[in-house]
């Protein structure tokens, strides 16, 4: 069952349910632009979908895995660390500003991306669901 994030109360509910993303990781993500090339090689160059789906796993049960879908994507800044540094999240920030929903890979971001050099996402709408069936290293997307 998908849960829409319509306001800060909904976001706080997600943050509580998933432990503020503490001891979690981004397992994988998928971007869908909406643009495509057809069999006749004509291109539909319009990014009408702009959707990012992200699977987060964590070292805690109930739930162990969630999938978040960001629709109407406005920005995706993906800053993966290399294999010499661990990539677990100590926490995350999520909030609404000017009608847009933001997710940051740090629990110290309150309302601005200024100075943040990690991964962050901004979208017009967001929904999420429990996806414990995605635990483990098997690729989902």
- 140 in a structural domain: no
User: What's the domain range around 76?
Assistant: 3-134
Q: How confident is the model at residue 117 (pLDDT cuts 50, 70, 90)?
A: confident
How much is the average pLDDT of 78-84? Answer: 85
List residues bridging with 53 in a β-sheet.
30, 69
- 68 in a structural domain: yes
Q: What is the pLDDT of residue 111?
A: 58
- 141 in a structural domain: no
Sign of the CA dihedral running 68, 19, 98, 112: negative
- 117 in a structural domain: yes
Count of CA atoms in the C-beta half-sphere (13 A) of 77: 12
Q: What is the pLDDT of residue 114?
A: 66
Q: In whole numbers, what is the pLDDT of the chain averaged over residues?
A: 94
CA distance 10 to 98: 16
Count of CA atoms in the C-beta half-sphere (13 A) of 18: 31
Q: Based on the structure, what is the number of domains in the chain?
A: 1
- 63 in a structural domain: yes
Percent helix, strand and coil across the chain, each to the nearest 5: 10, 40, 50
Q: Is residue 51's pLDDT more than 90?
A: yes
List residues bridging with 29 in a β-sheet.
54
Q: Is residue 109's pLDDT more than 80?
A: no
How much is the average pLDDT of 49-64? Answer: 97
- 139 in a structural domain: no
């Amino acid at each position: 069952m998908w849960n829409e994030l319509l306001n800060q109360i909904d976001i706080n509910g997600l943050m509580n349910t998933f432990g503020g993303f503490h001891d979690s990781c981004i397992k994988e993500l998928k971007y869908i632009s909406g643009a495509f090339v057809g069999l006749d090689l004509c291109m539909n160059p319009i990014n009408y979908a702009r959707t990012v789906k992200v699977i987060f796993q964590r070292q805690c049960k109930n739930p162990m895995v969630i999938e978040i879908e960001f629709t109407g994507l406005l920005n995706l800044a993906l800053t993966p660390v290399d294999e010499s540094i661990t990539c677990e999240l100590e926490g995350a920030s999520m909030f609404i500003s000017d009608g847009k929903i933001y997710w940051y890979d740090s629990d110290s971001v309150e309302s601005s991306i200024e100075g943040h050099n990690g991964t962050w996402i901004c979208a017009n709408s967001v929904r999420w669901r429990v996806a414990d069936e995605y635990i483990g290293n098997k690729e989902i997307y």
